[in-house]
Amino acid sequence: MGFIVAIDGPAGTGKGTITKRIAKRLGLINIDTGATYRCVALEVLNQNIDLHNQEAIIQVAKTIHIDMKQEKEQQQVYVNGENVTEKIRTPEVSKIVSQVSSIIEVRLQMVELQRKLAQGKDVIMEGRDITTYVFPHADVKIYMDAKVEERAKRRFLEYQEKGLKQTYEEVLEDIKKRDKNDKEKELGALKQAEDAIYVDTTYMTIPEVEEKIVAIIQKAKSN
Ligand code: DC
């Protein structure tokens, strides 16, 4: 087994940004587990599948071919050979992904894939249930958090930069809904593992969060 850094937390805490930066800095493979659920959600949209049709969604999860490749120092996500790195980040996908990821059979499929992607490698992995379910014995376990208004502000600015038309109120509403969904999942619900280190990023800059987490990782490595 390689060295595993596991990070969980709700949407908009900066997990994605931070793990990318730390992966590059410390030479770890970055595995964004939310992207695996986003790929299933994208395919559900592409195939016009009704969200109540769980069987059809499970079928998508069982047959989809997801690949993550490190290209030009950036992680690229592929679904059945197509690069979907941008497509999985749209508000349409964000809106349904939490519901798609609540289906137990979908989770079992994705967790199997996530463990496979990490096999034998030194990884930094972020999601909702990495410290509690996917890798409960990870070498480093961190729970990132921030006030919901601050998280919505960050996501709103990100959408604005991309030219996506969403109001702050819509983003806030969506994040609140996702928080609730993520915390109430039957399997892999978002919660802080007892032995995870809590990092509140509300009033921290990205470099400050990076330094704090790098220090935690380096301490664990030297033990
Ligand atoms: O981190 P993200 O916003 O890209 O995650 C997308 C969705 O996937 C989110 O609503 C929760 C879900 N998710 C999950 O259930 N388990 C994970 N390990 C990662 C994400």
Sheet holding 29-32, edge to edge: 29-32, 123-127, 4-8, 140-145, 197-200
Ligand 1 within 6 A of 10 CB?
Answer: no
Residue 70 banded pLDDT, cuts 50, 70, 90: confident
Q: What tokens does 71 get? A: 């290209």
- What is the chain's mean pLDDT, rounded? 95
Probe residue for ligand 1, chosen from 75, 117, 128, 175 as the CB with the greatest number of ligand atoms within 8 Å: 128
Ligand 1 within 6 A of 93 CB?
Answer: no
Domain boundaries, the chain: 4-204
**Domain 4-204 falls in which CATH fold?**
Rossmann fold (3.40.50)
* Cα separation, 192 vs 145, whole angstroms: 10
Ligand 1 within 6 A of 210 CB?
Answer: no
Q: What is 189-208 written as a DSSP string?
A: -----TTSEEEE-TT--HHH
Residue 165 has pLDDT above 90, yes or no: no
Tell me what pLDDT residue 75 has. Answer: 84
Tell me what pLDDT residue 164 has. Answer: 85
Q: What is the average per-residue pLDDT within 68-92? A: 90
User: Which atom of ligand 1 has the smallest separation from the CA of 185?
Assistant: 15
Of 40-54, 70-84, 185-199, the poorest mean pLDDT is in 70-84
Ligand 1 within 6 A of 128 CB?
Answer: yes
Tell me what pLDDT residue 151 has. Answer: 97
Ligand 1 within 6 A of 97 CB?
Answer: yes
Residue 10 has pLDDT above 80, yes or no: yes
Ligand 1 within 6 A of 11 CB?
Answer: yes
